[in-house]
Amino acid sequence: MNEMIIAAGAAQPAAAAAKGTGKVPVLSVTRASKIYGGVHAIEDVDFDVHAGEVHALVGENGAGKSTLCKAIAGAIQLTSGEIALDGAPAHFERPADALAAGINMVYQETSLVPTMTVAQNLELGNEPLITRFRSLNIQAQQLLQSLNFHVEPTAMVATLGTAKRQMVEIARAVRHKARLIIFDEPTASLTPEEILHFFHLVEDLRARGVAIIYISHALEESLKISDRITVLRDGKLVITAPTKDMTREELVRHMVGRDISRTHYAKHATAAPAASAPPVLREKVLEVENVTMGTAVKNMSFSLYAGEVVGVAGLIGSGRTEIAKVIAGALKRNLINGGMIYLRGKPVRYRVPRQAIDDGIVYITEDRKLDGFFETMAIDDNMYVGKLATKAGRTFLLSGAVRKSLAADLIARLRIAALDSRAKIVELSGGNQQKVVVGKALAQDPSIVIFDEPTRGVDVGAIPEIHGAIRRLADEGKAVMVISSYLPEVLSISDRILVARQGRIVAELDAATADERQIMYAAIH
């Protein structure tokens, strides 16, 4: 492969990158800039990708990865710069133009029609005048089988899980004879098992000579799957280099422009003091006993103790989010579903989150955009609403002074990088948005805090800060439960690890001695 490293700011045409191989890249972007409201989302970025190559694109949130890819896919227009297809200048007015040129973008939020079947979705946009369902389904079946996807062509898309929807999207891209596929955070909502399958698929596409741009937050993944890696920071190109010359530490350094120690993934670097306290001395705050909830949660039992972080690992569909929502009242537990939940020995049964919050139990959502924050509101208003919704914070009239002091306190406690607490929350990076959502929960002065995927879609620099905040909560004597799909995270921040599988807690491990293999073994088998 190409040994050249293009340094940032070097005004070198992207075509030069191809010199090493002597091939013309499938797609190259030269000096690309895009300005939004006077601010450069990307600035003078050179980028290219070859046939049969996986080119990973990494960078913190707001680094310009999505902007660059949207320009390539024709979803937005560059302010300046050129796009070339097979060395010839190309201009994509609309996504359809890019699609016609064989460029497909597989978005995180899938673009399938939920009320149609898999086969109909595969055919979408290419329907003949009269559709014969039989031949449609047979064609779809052949396509899916050739890709080794276990998806029923006649299944309604709405009934499929995220992983299967993604398979359908990829199948559609293959059907469109895609020459370049852009994956935007393809593994964000996949379970480890599904990620493995997805990697095989990418290998397969690469073998077929498809060029692939791979956007991901997960650095290990990018390092594993890609041939070359490009790092963007603040809209500028930092480095493009062959993956084999890169390490995780180097990548992180390039992404954030500073060295981050590995502490947030080193085992118990922060957890040590609390973990040394014998658990018998801790107060049992919450006890879940044989709770059953439809088919999602079956006979789950476990306890939470004050001053302890409990990590919950498990695949998606293992019932881990559901049990958390049951505890916090976000999912109503019907009387016909069995089991008991005891809060400090007293049986509780919440119908709405408000009741749980009144008892000091807060749940921090896994999808902050969907149901975490209020996008029209300022940072401080978001947190103030949290306080107003509690018994202690209940007032008829609003108080600017309370709002200000609350925001100042939480911004300092959670190290939220905001110049102005009156700024709109949507102006913040993903990590800071997550911190505001955490702040909104902490404004409710809880004694039990449940985090669901606390660092999903969070920039690398903010992850250790969120982990630090979680640890401090436990040190303050709160019971903390953290649900995470990312095993290094579970291992590093927990005192105790619960593994859920198919609605049951199947293993309870001491984080000090557990390893990833143990957890995966329990979660899958």
Site map 421..440 versus other proteins, x via CB under 8 A = -xxx-xxxxx-xx------x
How far is it, in rounded angstroms, from Cα 50 to Cα 484? 35
If one asks whether residue 93 binds other proteins (CB under 8 A), the answer comes out as no
Q: Following DSSP, what letter does each residue of 16-53 receive, concatenated?
A: GGGGGTTPPPSEEEEEEEEEETTEEEEEEEEEEE-TT-
Least Å from the CB of residue 465 to other proteins: 16
169 neighbors 106 (Cβ within 8 angstroms):
yes
CA geometry: angle 284, 289, 294, nearest 5 deg: 140
Least Å from the CB of residue 263 to other proteins: 25
Structure tokens at 158: 């709405």
Residues ≥6 apart with Cβ < 8 Å to 399: none
- Considering only 214, 305, 373, 486, the residue that binds other proteins (CB under 8 A) is 373
Is the CB of 218 or the CB of 269 nearer to other proteins? 218
Burial of 349 by CB count in 10 Å (0-12 exposed, 13-18 middle, 19+ buried)? Answer: middle
How far is it, in rounded angstroms, from Cα 511 to Cα 266? 12
Least Å from the CB of residue 3 to other proteins: 34
Q: Which stretch binds other proteins (CB under 8 A): 18-26, 111-119, 208-216, 356-364?
A: 356-364
470 neighbors 286 (Cβ within 8 angstroms):
no
Structure tokens at 300: 């789950």
If one asks whether residue 39 binds other proteins (CB under 8 A), the answer comes out as yes
If one asks whether residue 386 binds other proteins (CB under 8 A), the answer comes out as yes
If one asks whether residue 38 binds other proteins (CB under 8 A), the answer comes out as yes
If one asks whether residue 22 binds other proteins (CB under 8 A), the answer comes out as no
DSSP alpha helix (H) spans, 423-525: 430-442, 463-475, 487-493, 516-524
Structure letter (DSSP) for residue 156? B
How far is it, in rounded angstroms, from Cα 156 to Cα 147? 19
Site for other proteins in 123-142 (CB under 8 A): none
Q: Which stretch binds other proteins (CB under 8 A): 43-51, 149-157, 368-376, 517-525?
A: 368-376
How far is it, in rounded angstroms, from Cα 283 to Cα 278? 11
If one asks whether residue 353 binds other proteins (CB under 8 A), the answer comes out as yes
If one asks whether residue 412 binds other proteins (CB under 8 A), the answer comes out as no
Least Å from the CB of residue 9 to other proteins: 22
Question: Which has the closest alpha carbon to 289: 321, 333, 330, 331?
Answer: 333
Radius of gyration of the chain (CA): 25
Residue 261 has a CB neighbour count (10 Å cut-off) of 11
If one asks whether residue 385 binds other proteins (CB under 8 A), the answer comes out as yes
Q: Which stretch binds other proteins (CB under 8 A): 78-86, 188-196, 382-390, 503-511?
A: 382-390
If one asks whether residue 371 binds other proteins (CB under 8 A), the answer comes out as yes
Alpha carbon distances (Å) from 267 to 129, 313, 455, 493: 61, 16, 17, 8
How far is it, in rounded angstroms, from Cα 376 to Cα 44? 32
Helix or strand holding residue 128 (H, E): none
Q: Which stretch binds other proteins (CB under 8 A): 259-267, 299-307, 351-359, 516-524?
A: 351-359
Q: Which stretch binds other proteins (CB under 8 A): 88-96, 280-288, 292-300, 362-370?
A: 362-370
Least Å from the CB of residue 385 to other proteins: 5
- Considering only 5, 158, 398, 408, the residue that binds other proteins (CB under 8 A) is 398
Residue 440 has a CB neighbour count (10 Å cut-off) of 26
How far is it, in rounded angstroms, from Cα 105 to Cα 57? 14
If one asks whether residue 321 binds other proteins (CB under 8 A), the answer comes out as no
Q: Which stretch binds other proteins (CB under 8 A): 88-96, 139-147, 295-303, 381-389?
A: 381-389
- Considering only 246, 378, 479, 480, the residue that binds other proteins (CB under 8 A) is 378
Least Å from the CB of residue 239 to other proteins: 22
Least Å from the CB of residue 236 to other proteins: 15
Least Å from the CB of residue 271 to other proteins: 28
If one asks whether residue 204 binds other proteins (CB under 8 A), the answer comes out as no
Least Å from the CB of residue 517 to other proteins: 33
If one asks whether residue 420 binds other proteins (CB under 8 A), the answer comes out as yes
Least Å from the CB of residue 432 to other proteins: 7
At 55, the amino acid letter reads H
Structure tokens at 184: 């935007």
Is the CB of 395 or the CB of 405 nearer to other proteins? 395
How far is it, in rounded angstroms, from Cα 328 to Cα 233? 38
If one asks whether residue 41 binds other proteins (CB under 8 A), the answer comes out as yes
If one asks whether residue 121 binds other proteins (CB under 8 A), the answer comes out as no
Is the CB of 291 or the CB of 383 nearer to other proteins? 383
Helix or strand holding residue 284 (H, E): strand 284-293
Interface with other proteins (CB under 8 A), residue total 57
If one asks whether residue 233 binds other proteins (CB under 8 A), the answer comes out as no
How far is it, in rounded angstroms, from Cα 369 to Cα 434? 9
By CB under 8 A, name the binding residues for other proteins. Answer: 36-39, 41, 61-62, 66-67, 70, 76, 328, 330, 352-354, 357-358, 363, 365, 369-378, 381, 384-386, 388-390, 394-398, 419-420, 422-424, 426-430, 432-433, 440, 444, 457
